[in-house]
Amino acid sequence: MLALIIKRILLAIPVLLVVASLTFVLVRIVPGGPFDADKNLPPEIIANLNAKYHLDRPVPEQYLLYLGRLAQGDLGVSYKYVNRTVNDILADAFPVSLQLGTISLTLAVLVGVPLGAIAAVCRGRKEDVIAMFLSTLGISVPGFVIGATLIFVFAIKLRVLPVGLWESPWHVVLPAVTLAFSPAAYLARLTRASVLEIVEKDWVRTARSKGLSQWNTVLKHILRNSLIPVVTVLGPLTAIVITGSFVVEYIYAIPGMGRFFITAVMNRDYDLILGTTLVFAVLLIIANTFVDLAYQFLDPRMRIED
């Protein structure tokens, strides 16, 4: 297992280098620059700004400078938020997204997986129809509609939960539910398909015929095996959910990092774009490593020999 982890870390370096390089090139291809605004600045002032941020140097030199800073863990400075570094911005925003994302993901797993399992076990009955209706709803209704509806019902009409902001634990409830909706629906569909496939397997019948209790059959044989595809998607899903959601953070006014994936691009805030992309890439790599480790517990056949 240690070998797997070490191998993953070593592989992560070239992957991150490719991600950083591609993003570096892409952001510079897009028309418009960080200092374009409705008030056009005199060329002398643009020159001062470009000099301050080394944007006057040739692009290959900028690239090397960037890699040099990156190697020291410095993600650069924000051109939009003039007195803040990208490290500062992400250090403030990521914990908020992480907190909200973890709660949402837990909620999604706790609701989505049992819902999918029930739907599969009750295939074709009304429980299945209800569960699949809910999950289709969760996948197809966009987050801003769910968010607005929840705000309208619970905050404006019933007045039991706050409209938005990030002040107390009560403020977490609506955004967490909104953020959990789509992953929960996705997990439910996936679990249902997977359980349906597993219950037909010979070894499930064998387990039952040898007199294993129903709960043992479900938990040890059906669920455990049908969780493999679920765990596979949980990797990228975790990275997506814990880096925050633009929509949820916007409608609930939550100071997370999801918004930067969009606003940094709109502002052509080059280093911030690179910073958010790299953080996402790192989290994705970590989450996928955990997925590989989880496989080994779920299915001994996948165990890698050290």
Partner 1 sequence: MRIIGDDRYLISAFAKRLGHCFLAMLLLISVLSLSACSRPRSRFETGVLRVNLGTEPPGLDWHTATDSTSFDVVSNLMVGLTQYTNKLTCAPSCAKSWEILDGGRRYVFHLRDDLRWTDGKPVTAYDFEYAWKRLLNPVTAAQYAFFLYDVVNAREYNTGKLKSADTLGIKAVDDHTFEVRLRKPAAYFIYLTAFCVSFPMRKDVVENWGDRWTEPEHFVTNGPFKLTKWQHEYKMELAANESYFDRVPQVKLIKMFMVPEASTAFALYENDELDFIDNRSFATPDVERYRNSPEYKNFPLLRANYLAFNVTKKPFTDVRIRKAVAMAIDRSIFPRILRRGERPATSWIPPALPGYSPDSGTKFDPAAARALLAEAGYPGGKGLPKAELLYPNRDDVRLTVEATQDQLKRNLGMEIELVNQEWKVYLATVRKDAPPMFRNSWGADFPDPETFMNLFTKDCGNNDTKWSDPRYDALIEAAQGELNAAKRADLYRQADVMLCREAVPIVPTFLATQNIMIKPWVTGIAINPLDLQFFKDVVVSDTEANQREIR
Cα–Cα nearest to 27, from 306, 290, 271, 296: 271
Contact 272, 22 (CB under 8 A): no
Round to whole Å and give the CA distance between 36 and 240. Answer: 31
* Interaction between residue 151 and partner 1 (CB under 8 A): yes
- Shortest Cβ 234–partner 1 spacing (Å): 20
Cβ closest to partner 1, residue 17 vs residue 47: 47
Contact 78, 85 (CB under 8 A): yes
DSSP code of 33? -
Cβ closest to partner 1, residue 222 vs residue 242: 222
Cβ closest to partner 1, residue 239 vs residue 272: 272
* Interaction between residue 160 and partner 1 (CB under 8 A): yes
Window 221-280: residues binding partner 1 (CB under 8 A) = 250-255, 259, 266-268
Give the x/- contact pattern for partner 1 in 108-127, rule: CB under 8 A. Answer: --x---xx-xx--xxx---x
Contact 221, 203 (CB under 8 A): yes
| Paired tokens of 226 | 């049908």
- Shortest Cβ 135–partner 1 spacing (Å): 14
* Interaction between residue 189 and partner 1 (CB under 8 A): no
Contact 63, 21 (CB under 8 A): yes
* Interaction between residue 210 and partner 1 (CB under 8 A): no
* Interaction between residue 174 and partner 1 (CB under 8 A): no
Query: Nearest 5°: CA angle at 103, between 74 and 106?
Result: 115
Window 29-48: residues binding partner 1 (CB under 8 A) = 30-33, 35-45, 47-48
User: Given candidates 52, 54, 220, 303, which one binds partner 1 under the rule CB under 8 A?
Assistant: 52
Cβ closest to partner 1, residue 227 vs residue 284: 227
User: Given candidates 14, 58, 71, 83, which one binds partner 1 under the rule CB under 8 A?
Assistant: 83
* Interaction between residue 101 and partner 1 (CB under 8 A): no
Cβ closest to partner 1, residue 25 vs residue 45: 45
Q: Which residues contact 187 (CB under 8 A, 6 or more apart)?
A: 108, 109, 112, 113, 116, 230, 233, 234, 237
* Interaction between residue 291 and partner 1 (CB under 8 A): no
- Shortest Cβ 294–partner 1 spacing (Å): 23
- Which range touches partner 1 (CB under 8 A), out of 14-22, 149-157, 234-242, 270-278? 149-157
Round to whole Å and give the CA distance between 190 and 196. Answer: 10
Q: What percent of the residues of the chain are helix, what percent strand, and what percent coil, each to the nearest 5?
A: 75, 0, 25
